[in-house]
Every structure is written in C-alpha cells, then in structure tokens.
Structure 1
C-alpha cells in the first residue's frame, strides 16, 4: 500500500504545484517510486499522453520530476474553461462534454469513483503519492461534495501540509484564517504549515513563526525562499504575462482571453538576448521581430476579440515585414475561414485573417495524438528550418484543409498508429501548425532566433543552448536541492511512516 501526503494551499498560486514537483524529485532521488496526483485540475495548458489522452500540464511537470511517463491517472479530471461560467469537462483523458459551473457543481460527486479508481491504480506502482489540492480548502461555498481538497484527503486518508504565500503579504492571517474555517476533523488532518516565497532575513520572521505555531497549534515545517527556477507556471496565475522588457530579439505573443498552452513558448525565454512579451493591445505590440499566435479554447471568440481591439489589422499589416507564427487555434485564425456547424464553440461561420490559404471546420471530436516529423522545404525568413526534425503533440477540435496554392509546413507521423500526414501551411513569412511543443525540440528555437537576428542585420551568438530536456532536469534538481535545505524532510518522512537514509545532493 502506497504512502501519501497532500499539499494544500491558502489560495491559488501559493506554490502547491511546485512543492509537489520538488517533493516528487526528492523522493525519486532517495530511491522511492513517487507519483503526483491531482483529482481535479482547472487549466487551459494541457498535454497529450502517449496513448492519446489529455491531462493538465502541471501534473506532467510533476511526473517528469518524479522520472515518470505522464499518465491521466495522475489527473483524472481536467476542466478547461470555455467562458466565464462554463468549462469543457475531461474525464480520464476523454471529453465528457461542456457544463456550466452550477451543473458541474451538482454533477461532480458522481466522479468520486473515477477519482478513487485512478488513485488506487497509481498505488500499484508508487511507493509514495504526492497529492495536490486546488485553490483553498477554506472556500466554504464549495466544500459540499469536495473532491479535490479535504474531501479527497479524507477519501484516501492523507496527512496534509498547508502552504501560504508570504510574497503577497498577510501569510499569518492566511494560515490561521484557513485553519479556523476548517472543521475540527479537517484541522486535525493538517500536520504542518509551510511559508512559501520568502525574501529577506529569516531571523526577523522567527518571532512570527513562534506565534503562528502557538495560535495554529501546528508546526512550521519549512520557510521556502523565493526561487529563481525555470519551471512551468500554473496557467491562470502566471507572472510571465507581466514581462514587458524588450531584448535584442523581441518576440510578441498575442494574449488571447482564452489563451491555452502558452508553455509552447517557454523555450524562447531560456535563450540569451531574447524577450517574450505577452500583449493584448496594439499599443503593447510595438515592433517585434516575430509575432506568435498561441492556442485558444475559444478560437472564434478570440479572433473576434482581436478584430475588435485592432490587433488583427495590426498583425496583418506587420506580416508584410515581420515573421508571424500560429499554433493550433492561432494557426486556424490565420486562415480564410472558420466554420462551426456543430456549435463546438459559438456556431456559425467567421472570416479568418486571410494570411494563409486554409479553411477550418470545427468538429465534434477532439484530435489527440503525439507526433514526430520534419519541416518541409520552407520559404521566407525561416527557410533554414527546412528538413529539421519535429516532435510534439496535437490537441484540437478542428480540421483545416489547404487550398491548392498553400504549401504544408511539415510532414508528420502519428506515434499511435504510424500514419503519415501533411501539417500546417506557410506563405512568405506567415507560418502555421497544429503541433504543440514544436519549439522545444532540438535546435528549432535557436535556429529561429538566428534567422530573426540575420534579418535585422546583426550577429547573434547566444552560445550553444542546453538541450531542453537536459535543462529541464537541471531545474528539477535545483528545486529539490532548495527544498531539502529549507523543508524539514525528516518530519515529512516521519509523517509518511517511511524509513529513509539521508542523501547528500
């Protein structure tokens, strides 16, 4: 029988996801098989597993930190918001359907057997399961039939560590207030408190910690410093959207209201002298070297948003002299038309940006697959990508057909069935693809930056960047090292009831 421990937070973005990833890494380093688990995740950043199933990227990151292949068992329920009051509900990696918030609130108790089955299956291979809560357990309006915080902790009998974010201020009130709003049985399940994102001299904090332990009746098992680590954020609360500084090579990402999978562009942020800015107005756009149109959970609605605020016209004009690259929903927007005969999004038809000779029809069924392949012989500023290998995944509701004058951007092989197909399209300096993660593979991102620099007539020497997968591993190790230093790991192992040898990493 696996041991388990659960990380809950006083609020969203308190650092739960990162702590779970770090603990998974520590347990793996110490010789245990560890697995992450989040019963329900609400996110627009998702991933396709090898067997073609969809899950939240936060649990993908945690799985990678644990040295595991991502599995939907780690995230059996995924909610992808389609508007302010509704989401697409994905269960065990498959689309169940769209529900408004009230309907889902009533329905979710039916998913308890699904959650328990996934958890029990994980137990067959994991020594330790590290569970992540969602939001706060003190959201008293949502506690009825809870399936992701204290309700889940009780279901699987997991001890809880409660984490608060001191960087936002009021961490003592966060932690004490959360404890006060819990039922007595829930309070007893909390076995320790963690203060996260601390900056400064800890000795100044010590008197507050002593008082916190007295008033809360719980030990503080760690004060984690603010960490400079390059690991994916939770999508809805990322701070990367706030970055506006321009570097030698400037890349602008259109920040749609329903932006999804912006993690596609993380690779560029790791390159020297490259800025990645997320923009939502013509004034913010400026004169970038490349414009990226990301994925969207509401492609038609986000295209209308671009049309209304002037970004569509600005991007079309700049495409005459600037590289424009669209992925998934962004690729669909670049075409001539999008039609929605099954009301997958908003129904009806909409004119596209007319920069690529493609037409898209939104379908009932979602395409979900991992792919490999190569770029075709490309024209325009990115012609040096021709022949380079591609790897990534597709996740989309639409099918796009190219007109005779449109050339595909790549030829792909479906990892699941081995079938080959042409993907995407390009025309002059406008490029589009359905492949998420395309910039992570090999030398694609550095090659694009060199092309942009050459166009500006400057020499770009960003050095030879570390392979993305190797870089990712160094960040997980860095995270684990920090947590080992600032968390009481002996206390955590005692909570688990697991014997361990102290390992020097």
Structure 2
C-alpha cells in the first residue's frame, strides 16, 4: 500500500513558477521532518543533473532533491527530453539515451511505453517516501495535446494527487489565465484543483484583494497564497526561458565583464551561476558579434548540437570576433563540454549522433579533435586542476556524447588520478574541459577572477562567497518566503482530506 501523501503543482503556462514552488515545498516538508521527494514524469530541458550512480535527469529535479535533503534518482524524472534540432530531441529514459525522435513520432509511438515508465517510477517513490511533490509542465489546458499528454492531469490521476494551479501575475492577465485554464479542464480534473497560488507579485496586496475575492466567488476555488517576487534567488534555472532576464549589454559599474555565448542549442548554462554572486562580476549572454564587444572572460557553454552551434558561431561572425579578440586583447576564453569541443581543431559526427553534418572545423584554439559517439558519458568527476602555478581540487559532472583526443602540443588541465582531462594553452588564456560545475569550485573560481583582476591592474579580492553554502541558504530563504505568503497548513489539511474523499 502506497504510503506517500502527494501534492501536484501545475501552471497556466511555462515559467509560471512551478519548479521554484515545487522546490520550496520540498524544503518545507523536509523541514517538517517528512521524508520528501520531487517528481516530474517528463521534463523537456537542456539543463541536466547527474545522479550519484551516473545517470542523467532534469536539473530542476536534482536541485529539488537537494532542497529535500535527499540523493536524486532517475525515478524522480524518468523521462528527459533534450531538444537537439528543430522538431527533434534526444529522449533520455532512466538516465540513459533511448534515442533521437521527432516530435510527432514521440507523441505517437512512445506514449504507451512512457505511461508504464512513469507509473513504475511513481510507485517506487510512493512506497519509499512520505511526501511526494509533483511538478507538471506547460499548461494542463493544452487541449490539442491532452489526449496523449504524460505530465499533467494524467499524472495527477495516476498519483491520485490534488492539484494547485500556479499563475504568474508578472506577465499580466493572471485572472484570465487562471479562469481560462480551469474552464478548459475536464470536470473530473477540475475537481482535483484544491486552490491556486498567484506567483511573482509586485506591489500593494490591498489593490489585488478585490480581484482575489472575485476569483474565489466566480470559480469557487480558493486562493491559497500570493507569493511576492523574490529577487536574487540563486537557485538553478530549469530551461532557457530564464535567459530572457539577462542583458547583452555591459555593466560599467562592475570591474569584470563576463560574456557567455548563447547559441541556439545552449545547454547546462547553470555553469555560470556562481559568477552571479560575485560582487565584481557582470554576466551577459550574447547572440551576435556586435554584442560581444571586449569582455574580460568569454565562456562557451555546453551545447546539445556542437557542430550546428559551431556553424552558428561562424555564420554569425562570432567565431571571427572571438579569434580577433584573442589576438588583440587580454581576453580569457573557457569552453565547457560542447564549448570545449568547439575550441578544438575539428569535430566529427560520422554516425549522425547529433546532426547530419558529419564534420566541422573548430576554432583551432586548443590542440584536440572530437568525435561524436553513440555511447553517452554521464559521470560525477573530480581531480586536480593546475592553473596560474597552483593546483586546485575540483569536482563536477560530465555529460557528453563525444570523446576528445589530444593533438601535438596538448597540455592537460585536470589530472584525474592519472587520467588527463581538459586542455589549455601555454599562456592559460584559453582552456576547456568536460567538467560542468567547474566554476562552482570556490578556490579555483577565486583564483581565475583574481588573475583577470591582476591583468587589469586591479587588487585581488579574497573571501569570495561559497556557492554551495549560498545555495543552501537560498533553499531556506525560499522556504521562509513561501511559508509567509502561502497557507501551508491549509494545503496540508486539503492533501489529507483529498485522500479521504477518494
């Protein structure tokens, strides 16, 4: 007999705040002493997380597990969809590649298998935990997709979970989106909705009160909370929708300008998150050569389609600008995963793993050559990194389809107990690695930034923030914020009553 008490959060649209509210409730229930797990049956995201046993899941579920104080498993996100080309994605099942599928083929051919995979994972979690916090995707009112959806009301029925609907008031039209969503639900599904939460509120709550009263009277559905917008919450983003908050322009008030290339298939861009906490750094995402200007640090992040994103760099003029900046300035260039591959001399994909384009010359800044392979590497990694005449113990995770081989002039970046990983130029102004979370290593990040400061004639800054400690504090800050503005006890009561009534 399943023992867990479930709750599900669905939204009126993408980026309404489902992931962050789910994270908050994972922390809140864990603080109350409940053994709690997150669950998202199917996640479409290019930001990944590697479990202890070397499996790949959506980053949001990994972070939610951390908030709950548990180790993440693939049961918490059994199906991960990673878009790689237009209308095509790599399907990850229980942390391993299942295959590349077109959208229509996935919908028509994978549905029954997906149902079984989801049910099995849900059963495991329901029997192992006391609270299950379930996150939906997009909107439950996507009527063109609902006959074969695998992530919203069908999952709520499977888990027998009550649903809380989240609306984002920051976008405007929150009452229309909430009412419209409720009206488009099937009657049986509408009965599952025990309340709504209005998210990202700014302003005077008294001005919103008449709208809240109207909504409750019109729909009969209670408002369980109005959550004010919470700035500077440094918890990993789920997908590239969040990149819209970043500017491409320099901030002259900051001493270190960090530019990140935002190519079309950018992935695992959460690698840059620690820089967002640094007092002297400004991070901007650029898509054109004109936006690049003259940064102090340029990061080429991960990519789900290295060759086609490399082609984008060349066709956009970014590749030419990057090479020119390296020759004419003190720019430091770092490539992570796909970005590391692009910095090499050549990328080959003879099996068409990511693209029908079989070969592309790289930027030629590092003496490596990469070949895409069908077997995916997903592993937690650690080693000793040598930089600026010093050594640093670093930890991270690897997720990549390609393998890179050394060419003449190769200099390793990281020694992994005898296995050499990554590559750097002799001047250390260009280096790359497969290590995601490289910049989460505080001592190395401090030295990298202070080397940049030294080149600019600035005094070093010491005692920089510990990113992992700051993230733990962010979980507590988020939980406290939600507890202040959401009726937690009423939600828990409704969760219990819902099970009794069913």
Q: Into which bin does the TM-score normalised by the smaller protein fall?
A: over 0.9
Residue 48 (structure 1) shift: 1.4
Q: Which residue of 2 aligns with 1:501?
A: none
Distance in 2 separating the partners of 1:466 and 1:458: 19
Equivalence for 1:233: 237
Q: Does 1:291 align with 2:324?
A: no
Q: Please point out which of 125, 128, 142 is paired with 1:125.
A: 128
1:256-283 Cα distance to aligned partner (Å, 9 max, x none): 1100000001011111110111101111
- What's 2:500 paired with? none
1:56-135 mapped onto 2 (5 Å cutoff):
56-106=58-108, 107-135=110-138
Alpha-carbon contact 2:50-2:378 (below 8 Å) kept: yes
2 CA distance for matches of 1:253 and 1:259?
10
**Unpaired stretches in structure 2, ≥5 consecutive residues:** 498-502
Answer yes or no: is 1:442 the counterpart of 2:449: no
TM-score by structure 2 length?
0.95
The CA RMSD measured in Å over matched residues stands at 1.2
Question: What is aligned with 2:419?
Answer: 421
Q: Which residue of 1 aligns with 2:176?
A: 173
In structure 1, the residue corresponding to 2:144 is in which secondary structure?
A: helix
Q: Give SS of 2:148's match.
A: coil
**2:432 aligned residue:** 432
Q: Once the two structures are superposed, what CA deviation does each residue of 1:354-411 show, in whole Å capped at 9, x if it has no partner?
A: 11111111111111111110113x4xxxx15x31111001110111111131111111
SS of the residue aligned with 2:484? Answer: helix
- 1:271–1:446: 8 Å Cα contact kept in structure 2? no
Higher mean alpha-carbon deviation, 95-104 vs 420-429, is at 420-429
In structure 2, how many angstroms separate the alpha carbons of the residues matched to 1:242 and 1:185?
A: 44
- What residue number does 1:258 align with? 265
The 5-angstrom pairing of residues 243-392 of structure 1 reads: 244-246=249-251, 247-320=254-327, 321-346=330-355, 347-376=357-386, 378=387, 383-384=388-389, 386-392=390-396
CA contact (8 A) 2:439 2:445 kept: yes
Report the alpha carbon displacement of residue 117 of structure 1 after superposing the two structures with TM.
0.9
Give 1:116 deviation, angstroms.
1.1
Give the conservation status (yes or no) of the 8 Å contact 1:338–1:352: yes
| TM-score normalised to structure 1 length | 0.94
Residues of 2 paired with 1:164 and 1:476: CA distance?
21
Give the equivalent residue in structure 2 for 1:191: 194
Shift in Å, 1:243: 5.8
State whether structure 2 residue 478 is matched by structure 1 residue 496. no
Aligned length, in residue pairs? 485
Tell me if 1:402 matches 2:402: no
Note the C-alpha offset of 1:245.
3.9
- Does residue 154 (structure 1) correspond to residue 157 (structure 2)? The answer is yes
Cα distance in 2 for residues equivalent to 1:325 and 1:210: 53
Q: Deviations over 1:126-183 (max 9, x none)?
A: 1100000000000001101221000110111000000000000000001000001001
Match of 1:417 in 2: none
* Offset from partner CA, 1:313-357 (integer Å, 9 cap, x none): 111111233111101000000111111111112242111111111
Match of 2:57 among 55, 72, 77: 55
Contact kept, 8 Å, 1:109 with 1:145, in 2: the verdict is: no
- CA contact 1:109–1:147 (8 Å) conserved in 2: no
Is 1:476–2:475 an aligned residue pair?
A: yes
CA contact (8 A) 1:54 1:72 kept: yes
Secondary structure, in 3 states, of the residue corresponding to 2:477? helix
Instruction: Answer yes or no: is the 8 Å Cα contact 2:442–2:464 preserved in 1.
Output: no
Mapped to 1, the partners of 2:448 and 2:391 lie a distance apart of: 14
Specify the SS of the correspondent of 2:189: helix
